[in-house]
Amino acid sequence: SFKVAIIGRPNVGKSTLFNRLVGKKLALVDDTPGVTRDRRVHAAKLYDLHFDVIDTAGFEDAAAATLPGRMRQQTEIAIREADLIFFTVDAKSGLMPDDRTFAEVVRKSGKPVVLVANKAEARGAQGGLLEAWELGLGEPIPVSAEHGQGMPDLRDAVVEALGEERTFGEDDEDDSDEIAASEVLIGEDIADPDAEAAYDDTKPLRIAVVGRPNAGKSTLINALIGEERLLTGPEAGITRDSISVDWDWRGRRIKLFDTAGMRRKSKVQEKLEKLSVQDGLRAIRFAEIVIIVLDATIPFEKQDLQIADLIIREGRAPVIAFNKWDLIDNPQELLAELREKTERLLPQVRGIQAVTVSAETGRGLDKLMDSVIKTHKVWNSRVSTGKLNRWLEGILAHHPPPAVAGRRLKIKYVTQAKTRPPGFVVSCSRPDAMPQSYVRYLTNSLREAFDMPGVPIRMALRTSD
């Protein structure tokens, strides 16, 4: 869990925001004006996010028109204690000199910040919203603390500012039920619903190549790396360490897991390869995308499916290469048959990319790498909380969850808690009672609505109270 400090000059709506997050009106008791209050910490919820908010409301009692030393000092203490700052401005009134003073303090702290532009529902708030960019604290998130608007975007901004790991901890997504979800807030979006995190294509994409012995893994890897070597000059572009090979594919940086013995095989190594399930697992864990090489002249075997299943369970995205396509005389029919089989046998990754290649001749490698990159994008994709809940509204209107033992199951909201692979939290009345078939329906519908073919999608059900 993490701690949030709501910072901003007087009257921007910090207390209103505080109350909305904490979910109840806290009586502001005690303390004669001017007396230092304890900074209190309260449990807050924002959809699936659970965190503590440091109560700084009391500081203002001590504040005159300007910024008295104590208030500033208190603010600094709160900032120091916090993992994340909600820097709050009033979009209706626009920026004041104090906003800039506070912003400076926050910026200097180096803490992650979400810039909250409150009162955004007010007429004329558009100008203040634009002005807020000047603070240099990133994109202002328009909200109305009073009316509960903009909360989906605020939630997403938190995840973006803190990162998934710090937001959700190291926990797995399915260990969850001790967390009860909030009554707070299904508000409307005010912000641009299409503003979603961009795909980062500057980091090396990590690939592993797996498959049964003799499927053509080594040949494929050599073809991939070799071809690029021709394009980039004899020595350039390739570096090797003990576990990986780095190279560029058409300008995209790639890190390939270098399975021992893959390049120069001896009899001994071949034996080792057969034994080494561990190696395969290591490769899969290393990778983001796993290319499964299948020998197209030999039908699918149980072992192929076991590999695919392992990849999916590890949360990696598989791409299939039907290799040795140069040996096939009925490519049309075989491809149709293989595609049909793949979809039927691997329903957990509906829409999986499957490409025909010849590692020997190099045909199809471009298409294969395009599929890898496409799948990687999907694997990294993030859907905004606003969009998800508009989608959910449609689902609930046309195909709501069934009644179990006479009581209709309710779904309150859906959020995306993770990427790589996409993982969603469904807040519902009775997670244990929710039929698997309905969860599958949700997953498939979501996959389709947000165009996420071929990757595992995780769904965690949580109780809403």
- Residues near ligand GDP (CB under 6 A) are 211, 213-219, 323-324, 326-327, 358-360
Is the CB of 327 or the CB of 336 nearer to ligand GDP?
Answer: 327
CB of 295 to ligand GDP, least distance (A): 8
What residue is closest to ligand GDP based on CB? 216
Identify which of residues 100 and 274 has a Cβ nearer to ligand GDP in the complex: 274
Q: Does 380 appear as a known binding residue? A: no
In whole angstroms, how close is the CB of 361 to ligand GDP at the nearest point? 7
CB of 365 to ligand GDP, least distance (A): 10
Q: How far is the CB of 211 from ligand GDP (least distance, A)?
A: 6
What are the tokens at 340? Answer: 């049909």
CB of 304 to ligand GDP, least distance (A): 12
Q: Which is nearer to ligand GDP, 152 or 211 (CB)?
A: 211
Known binding residue 283? Answer is no
Residue 58 annotated in ligand binding: yes
216 vs 315, which CB is nearer to ligand GDP? 216
**45: annotated binding-site residue?**
no
Give the nearest distance from C-beta 297 to ligand GDP in angstroms.
Answer: 8
Nearer to ligand GDP, 111 or 324 (CB): 324
433 token code pair: 């009672």
Q: Give the gyration radius of the chain's Cα atoms.
A: 27
Distance CA 80, CA 103 (A): 14
Dist. CA 163–CA 7, nearest whole Å: 20
Is 59 annotated to bind ligand?
A: yes
- Taking the least distance from each CB to ligand GDP, the nearer of 14 and 324 is 324
Is residue 315 annotated as involved in ligand binding?
no
Both tokens of residue 388? 């998800």
Q: Minimum CB separation from ligand GDP for residue 219, in Å?
A: 3
Q: Give 131 or 326: the residue with its C-beta nearer to ligand GDP.
A: 326
The answer to the question of whether 9 is labelled as a binding residue is: yes
Annotated binding site for GTP: 8-15, 55-59, 118-121, 211-218, 258-262, 323-326
Annotated binding site: 8-15, 55-59, 118-121, 211-218, 258-262, 323-326
